[in-house]
Chain A
Amino acid sequence: MPVKKRKPKLAVWKFASCDGCQLSLLDCEDELLAIADAVEIAYFPEATRAVVRGPYDLSLVEGSITTPHDAERIHRIRRSSKYLVTIGACATSGGIQALRNFKNVNEFISLVYAHPEYIETLKVSTPIAYHVSVDFELQGCPINKRQLVELISAYLHDRKPNLPAHSVCVACKRRGTVCVMVAHGTPCLGPVTHAGCGAICPAYHRGCYGCYGPNESPQTASLAARFEALGMGHADIARAFRLFTANAEAFRHESEAHEHEA
């Protein structure tokens, strides 16, 4: 393989988010030096104040668009990025802050802030792909650091990342976890949720919370009908689908269907 002439420039951008996904990059303790060796960390305020001017080869974008200012800023970032990859539930679906999308945001503002007039915000929280074209979306709340390393490795070697979009059930079955829904009657979003976390919650006898958002073909209505049979009411079903990826299309439709029934 030809040796790359210069190191690709990596930028990490933050929008409305908790910073947890950026921390996943810093959390790559064993691989961090190898990453720093393979790429030039050109813009990453969470880690360093040193800034290298763009354009950038690979931009990792965390967070959702919630303000008019950010709705502008993302276009500038897109223009200065060769590859733009969104990381985490906020950037890929709108995040937990997209709960505002189901209510009137002005009512929240008037209740929360002493001076609502200082707040300039959008009515809805939206994913990055709603505003600009995105080359790849890395799911998770937060993202899995091994998946992030896989993504960067794949980028560096011009190959497709191994980041399948099938259900969490695949991971449970490969690791031999007993199904919490079948054996315990615990409602679990695993069958409609994107894999990637390694099926952590069912391994600890909890149902999947859907942190990675909908999988490649989420049949949410059938799963919701099963939740009902397990004794869940419509309000609880609506809440189950309305968490970190509440604004992802399949989950949004399902929670709305049950909200109206409740």
Chain B
Amino acid sequence: MARRTPKTHTPGPDDAPMLLDVEGLGRLIALLAEEGYVVLGPRVRDGAVVYDEVRRVADLPVGWTEEQAPGRYRLVRRDDEAVFGFTLGPHAWKRSLFPPRRRLWRAERSEGDGAFTIAEEPVEAPKQAFLGVRACELAAIAVQDRVFMGGAYVDPVYAARRANTFIVAVNCTQAAATCFCASMDTGPQARSGFDLALTELLDDDRHVFLLEAGTETGRSFAARLSAAPAVPEDVAAARAVVARTAEALTRTLDTDGIRDLLFGNLDHPRWDEVASRCLACTNCTLVCPTCFCSTVEDTTDLTGAVAERWQTWDSCFTMDFSYIHGGSVRKTHRARYRQWLTHKLASWIDQFGTSGCVGCGRCITWCPVGIDLTEEVRAIRESADIPPHTTSANQAQAGR
């Protein structure tokens, strides 16, 4: 299926930013549902903000925020009724574009001649609207677009789901302690990749959302919401809130020469140190919004009349991931952690032209033992065997 061509937004007289009140946000959810979209957004479940179906504003995490630290996440009550007053939970939108488990095909043996008939799996791509996509997540979706649709081999399920997805971005009004989007140049201001973008403005006088359109589709939806036009001061207020969020970011990752830094330090003692803590449990890769690895499993039923092939999320931290004849190539935790970090931050650049990291910090928060990739890179940089920018091509090759 063809990729939807993003209709670049050209500001015109009709699409000036608007102001939506909380009821207006409810109208947006209702309108999307009316147009046949399953609206997916943040919801509080099991002590965290997860992405699931939302039908009304009350389904959203109104009045909730969270505290995040390496290996730690706690939901906390806010003293106001902010609708988007939190940052990121464990779920990434990839769950709805690149499902954790899907059947690729099913084959049945016919009774007579014993020949197999392969039934191709119908592509399931419901119309879905993502409500509350943060700037780093827009960047992550753009990364996965390149992975799944950018080359000669397009993933048909991803492409179909992507084409049927309407995106409502939300600009971050606060930063988590694990966020570092500014370092990765992905946020906190949503710049592209959305149909509509909201910035929540909440003070003693008002509780509204600045509504901006990013595509023609978004603009046509906005026009049907009977929202009030925004004045330049509203836009300035929204930009100021996001600028304050940028200032509130505490975590950083120095990306200067990072590819050569990592390839030039493949035998740095820090890899052994982190390997002693790493559980190889796969959590970092499975919460990562850009990690895209999968495996396939072939199954048969007891009679041998039916065979199926399933695709499931996989992780470079499992032994099976690097299993070839004779055993796993990456047996040690050191080899597996180094593979993940050098791919994410270095060889990804060679492969796809960008970093594989968008600075969301999920791998830091959701690592059960709190391993922080920004700390790992810092430790290597501070005592690098070979400083960045001086690596030879041979050393870079060794990282593949």
B interface: dominant SS? loop
What residues of chain A lie closer than 8 Å to B299, measured between beta carbons?
150, 153, 162
> CB of B165 within 8 A of chain A?
no
The segment from B144-152, B279-287, B375-383 that touches chain A is: B279-287
> CB of A134 within 8 A of chain B?
no
Number of contacting residues on B, CB 8 A? Answer: 50
A interface: dominant SS? helix
Q: Which of A157-176 contact B (CB under 8 A)?
A: 157, 159, 162, 164-167, 169-170, 173-176
Q: Which of B131-149 contact A (CB under 8 A)?
A: none
The answer to whether B303 and A38 touch across the interface, beta carbons within 8 angstroms, is yes
The answer to whether A166 and B368 touch across the interface, beta carbons within 8 angstroms, is no
- In the bound complex, how far is the Cα of B367 from the Cα of A222, in angstroms? 12
- In the bound complex, how far is the Cα of B282 from the Cα of A175, in angstroms? 14
* Residue of chain A at shortest CB distance from B370: A226
The answer to whether A182 and B279 touch across the interface, beta carbons within 8 angstroms, is no
Highest count of chain A CB atoms <10 Å: which of B48, B95, B101, B279: B279
Chain A interface extent, by class:
35 or more
- In the bound complex, how far is the Cα of B73 from the Cα of A178, in angstroms? 10
* Residue of chain B at shortest CB distance from A154: B300
The answer to whether A34 and B369 touch across the interface, beta carbons within 8 angstroms, is no
The answer to whether A157 and B47 touch across the interface, beta carbons within 8 angstroms, is no
The answer to whether B297 and A34 touch across the interface, beta carbons within 8 angstroms, is no
Identify A169's interface contact among B46, B282, B312, B370, CB under 8 A: B282
* Residue of chain A at shortest CB distance from B109: A1
Q: In the complex, how many angstroms separate the beta carbon of A143 from the nearest chain B beta carbon?
A: 17
Identify A178's interface contact among B45, B282, B331, CB under 8 A: B45
What residues of chain B lie closer than 8 Å to A98, measured between beta carbons?
none
23 contacts between A and B (CB under 8 A): A35-B302, A149-B302, A153-B299, A166-B320, A167-B282, A169-B286, A173-B287, A174-B101, A174-B313, A178-B45, A178-B47, A178-B89, A178-B90, A179-B90, A179-B368, A182-B90, A184-B47, A192-B279, A216-B319, A217-B331, A219-B279, A222-B276, A226-B71
Q: In the complex, how many angstroms separate the beta carbon of A186 from the nearest chain B beta carbon?
A: 10
> CB of A152 within 8 A of chain B?
yes
Q: In the complex, how many angstroms separate the beta carbon of A148 from the nearest chain B beta carbon?
A: 11
> CB of B174 within 8 A of chain A?
no
Identify B315's interface contact among A162, A170, A217, CB under 8 A: A170
Q: In the complex, how many angstroms separate the beta carbon of A194 from the nearest chain B beta carbon?
A: 12
State the 10 A-B residue pairs at the shortest beta-carbon distance, nearest first: A173-B286, A191-B281, A174-B100, A178-B46, A166-B318, A191-B279, A34-B302, A169-B281, A178-B48, A167-B281
Q: In the complex, how many angstroms separate the beta carbon of A166 from the nearest chain B beta carbon?
A: 4
Identify A191's interface contact among B45, B114, B368, CB under 8 A: B368
- In the bound complex, how far is the Cα of B75 from the Cα of A174, in angstroms? 22
**13 other contacts beyond A181-B71, A221-B276, with CB at 8 A cut-off?**
A1-B304, A37-B302, A165-B320, A167-B281, A170-B286, A176-B91, A178-B47, A178-B48, A182-B367, A182-B368, A183-B73, A184-B47, A191-B368
What residues of chain A lie closer than 8 Å to B315, measured between beta carbons?
166, 170
Highest count of chain A CB atoms <10 Å: which of B101, B283, B313: B283
What residues of chain B lie closer than 8 Å to A156, measured between beta carbons?
300, 302, 304
- In the bound complex, how far is the Cα of B333 from the Cα of A113, in angstroms? 48
The answer to whether B368 and A188 touch across the interface, beta carbons within 8 angstroms, is yes
What residues of chain B lie closer than 8 Å to A176, measured between beta carbons?
50, 91, 95, 100
The answer to whether A179 and B298 touch across the interface, beta carbons within 8 angstroms, is no
Q: A183-B74, A205-B46 are contacts. A219–B278 as well, Cβ < 8 Å?
A: yes
> CB of A77 within 8 A of chain B?
no
Q: Which of A28-60 contact B (CB under 8 A)?
A: 31, 34-35, 37-38
* Residue of chain B at shortest CB distance from A170: B282
Contact with A along B48-88 (1 / 0, CB 8 A): 10100000000000000000000111110000000000000
The answer to whether B283 and A191 touch across the interface, beta carbons within 8 angstroms, is yes
